[in-house]
Amino acid sequence: MRVLLTGAAGMLGHDVAAAAERAGHDVAPLSRRDLDIRDAAAVRGAVAAARPDAVINCAAWTDVDGAEAHEAEATALNGEAAGHVAAAAAAAGAFTVQVSTDYVFDGTARTPYLESAPTAPRSAYGRSKLAGELAVARHAPGAHAIVRTAWLFGVHGGNFVATMLRLAGERDALTVVDDQLGCPTFSGHLATALVTIAERRLGGVLHVAGAGECSWYDLAAATFAATGASVELSRGRTADLDRPAPRPAYSVLRSERPETPVLPSWQDGLHAYLELGVTA
């Protein structure tokens, strides 16, 4: 299978390229420097030239708080540009895999969000990603997968676990919020699932996140326990952070579709990440 990968220089993009190559696929990785997916004509040309069987779109605006002040820009990349990718892929007969997020939900549930749950984003970032979902479905009907995931961390980009390790080396005590619940997801595990979805052309919406659930406090505690970091950890509240973008209080994702790839537990993801030599 020939895979065209956008956003190849990002955290997830790096891992998707590696996962596709391990699976024996021919990968055409395009970073933002190689292709600005906001340029519809450039996207059409790149996809036509690559002649892929599948296009995995990892290009995205990921600054959740920044999107509050720059919603139009975030939507241009996460929304309209995702549609450009899907349209070009459909024209080339390729299958589109679009990465989305738990932020398309309002976070008020108390049981896991399934694919059929109604969307109701509360943040500009969530609205921009939902716009991308709708654009992909519109431009590549019957030839796309929308993969929602959550709380992503990986080796090739900034993330919560790396931040906790850095802060543990700088401070004796930390306060971490304990009133958000989600599914931490190791990008290496998600990448393998994205390639599988492309191989099998598993269409429609799929929820793919680390198995189990925990709070950010729990993830920090597990990180410190695994690395032997000596830091006093206290429980905090989201309200005390005063962030521009509202955070979903509950972001647990589960799939109601038996064909959906199942990821290892978030604990296994954390250990896999740390085993790659990540240090504070």
Q: Where are the domains of the chain?
A: 2-158+184-212+251-264
Digit-by-digit pLDDT tens for the chain (280 residues) are 999 999 999 999 999 999 999 999 999 999 999 999 999 999 999 999 999 999 999 999 999 999 999 999 999 999 999 999 999 999 999 999 999 999 999 999 999 999 999 999 999 999 999 999 999 999 999 999 999 999 999 999 999 999 999 999 999 999 999 999 999 999 999 999 999 999 999 999 999 999 999 999 999 999 999 999 999 999 999 999 889 999 999 999 999 999 999 999 999 999 999 999 664 4
Rg (CA), the chain: 18
| Pairing mode, strands 54-57 and 181-182 | unpaired
- pTM of the predicted model as reported, rounded to 2 decimal places: 0.96
Length of the chain: 280
Query: Residue 91 has which token pair?
Result: 């024209």
Give the residue among 37, 33, 80, 40 at the shortest CA–CA distance from 57: 37
What class is the 2-158+184-212+251-264 domain?
alpha beta
Give the DSSP H/E element, type plus range, for residue 73: helix 71-75
What is the reported pLDDT for 278? 63
Task: Please give the Cα distance from 20 to 2 (Å, whole number).
Answer: 9
Q: In the chain, at which residue ranges do the beta strands (DSSP E only) sit?
A: 2-6, 26-30, 54-57, 95-101, 144-149, 152-153, 173-177, 181-182, 185-186, 204-207, 214-215, 232-236
Q: What ranges in 148-246 are assigned the alpha helix state H?
A: 160-168, 187-200, 216-227
What is the reported pLDDT for 148? 98
Residues carrying an active site annotation: 125
